[in-house]
């Protein structure tokens, strides 16, 4: 499983990279056939306080799962996209069993 991390319009701190790595690696325990995880964090250029975007693309055989959220902080955005991806991966796994 490969993991890609990309920061757009800002430079990511080591703590943010480590936090993002931990959250994305947890996805593997819910779905073991993940090929690649691509996480892209973007600092949007508008004056709203809610301007941190996280986009997560999980490549699995047959389909890709894409989740995008905009929040107040990058940590909140990463947490939100990983929770949504876990829910979608669980649903995908249940469909495969049926």
Return the number of other C-beta atoms located less than 10 Å from residue 26's C-beta: 13
Domain range enclosing 71: 2-97
Rounded Cα gap, residues 44 and 50, in angstroms: 9
Q: What is the pLDDT of residues 2-12, one digit of tens each?
A: 899 999 988 99
Q: Could you tell me the pTM of the whole model?
A: 0.89
What is the average pLDDT value for the chain, to the nearest integer?
92
Residue 54 in contact with residue 41, Cβ under 8 Å? yes
Q: What is the pLDDT at residue 9?
A: 86
3 state DSSP class of 47? coil
Q: What is the pLDDT at residue 74?
A: 94
Position 38 pLDDT exceeds 80: yes
Q: What is the pLDDT of residues 40-80, one digit of tens each?
A: 999 988 777 888 999 999 999 888 999 999 999 999 999 99
Instruction: Provide the number of structural domains found in the chain.
Output: 1
CATH number for the domain spanning 72: value is: 3.30.160.100
């Amino acid at each position: 499983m490969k993991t890609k991390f990309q920061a757009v319009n800002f430079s990511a701190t080591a703590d943010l990279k480590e936090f993002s790595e931990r959250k994305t690696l947890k996805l593997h325990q819910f779905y073991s056939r993940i090929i690649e995880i691509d996480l892209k964090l973007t600092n949007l250029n508008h004056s709203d306080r809610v301007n941190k975007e996280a986009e997560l693309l999980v490549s699995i055989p047959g389909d890709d799962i894409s989740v995008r959220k905009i929040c107040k902080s990058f940590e909140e955005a990463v947490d939100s996209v990983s929770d949504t991806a876990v829910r979608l991966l669980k649903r995908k796994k249940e469909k495969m069993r049926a």
